[in-house]
C-alpha cells in the first residue's frame, strides 16, 4: 500500500495526540501495537470474541480488533498503559492482584478495561452484572471465580467508603 492509499487520522491515545497515516482498513489494535508501540493491548482472536484487545473509547469498553483506527479519529482512546493513571482502573488492578485473580496475565489488560467500564456505569454491580461485564473476555487460567470475587470485594469496599471516582 502506498502512502497515497492511506488516510490521516488524529488519534488521542492516553491523553497524547497522534497525527498519523493509517490504512483505511487498519484496525485500532494494529495501530496501537505496531505504529504506537503500545503492546499492553493484546492481539488475541482478531474476531472480537476473546476480549484481549479491549480498550476504552470515550470511556466505553470496545474491541480494538473490530474497530477501524480511522473510526477512533478525534476520540479518547485509553489503553492499559493509560489506565495505570486512571483511578477506577488502578483500584480494579489492585483488587485483581490482591484477590489472586491474575495468573498468566494475557487477559488482564482487556479484563481491566471491561471492569473499569462496568464500575463506572454500575458502581454497585451484582454478581450477574459482573459476570455480564466480563462475559466477552476469555480467561483460560482462573475460571473467573476469583475475578468475580475480587470485583465483588472491590465494589463492596467502594460502596462502604464511597471512594469510587467515576470519570465519565
According to the model, what pLDDT value does residue 163 have?
Answer: 63
16 has which bridge partners? Answer: 13
Half-sphere exposure of residue 62, counting CA atoms within 13 Å on the CB side?
20
Residue 123 DSSP symbol: S
What is the distance, to the nearest Å, from the Cα of residue 15 to the centroid of all Cα atoms in its chain? 15
d(CA 149, CA 166): 21
According to the model, what pLDDT value does residue 143 have?
Answer: 85
pLDDT at 77 exceeding the cut of 60:
yes
Q: Do residues 15 and 54 lie in contact, with contact meaning Cβ atoms separated by under 8 Å?
A: no
Q: Which domains does the chain have, with CATH numbers?
A: 3-79 (3.10.20.30), 83-161 (1.10.150.120)
pLDDT at 12 exceeding the cut of 70:
yes
Amino acid at each position: 500500500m502506498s502512502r497515497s492509499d492511506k488516510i490521516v487520522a488524529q488519534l488521542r491515545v492516553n491523553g497524547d495526540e497522534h497525527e498519523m497515516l493509517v490504512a483505511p482498513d487498519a484496525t485500532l489494535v494494529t495501530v496501537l501495537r505496531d505504529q504506537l508501540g503500545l503492546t499492553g493491548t493484546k492481539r488475541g482472536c482478531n474476531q472480537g470474541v476473546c476480549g484481549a484487545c479491549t480498550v476504552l473509547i470515550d470511556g466505553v469498553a470496545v474491541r480494538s480488533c473490530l474497530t477501524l483506527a480511522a473510526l477512533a479519529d478525534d476520540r479518547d482512546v485509553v489503553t492499559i498503559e493509560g489506565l495505570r493513571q486512571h483511578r477506577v482502573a488502578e483500584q480494579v488492578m489492585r483488587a485483581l492482584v490482591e484477590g489472586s485473580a491474575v495468573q498468566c496475565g494475557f487477559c488482564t489488560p482487556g479484563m481491566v478495561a471491561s471492569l473499569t467500564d462496568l464500575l463506572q456505569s454500575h458502581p454497585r454491580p451484582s454478581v450477574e452484572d459482573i459476570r455480564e461485564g466480563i462475559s466477552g473476555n476469555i480467561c483460560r487460567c482462573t475460571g473467573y471465580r476469583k475475578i468475580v470475587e475480587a470485583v465483588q470485594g472491590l465494589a463492596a469496599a467502594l460502596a462502604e467508603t464511597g471512594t469510587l471516582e467515576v470519570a465519565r
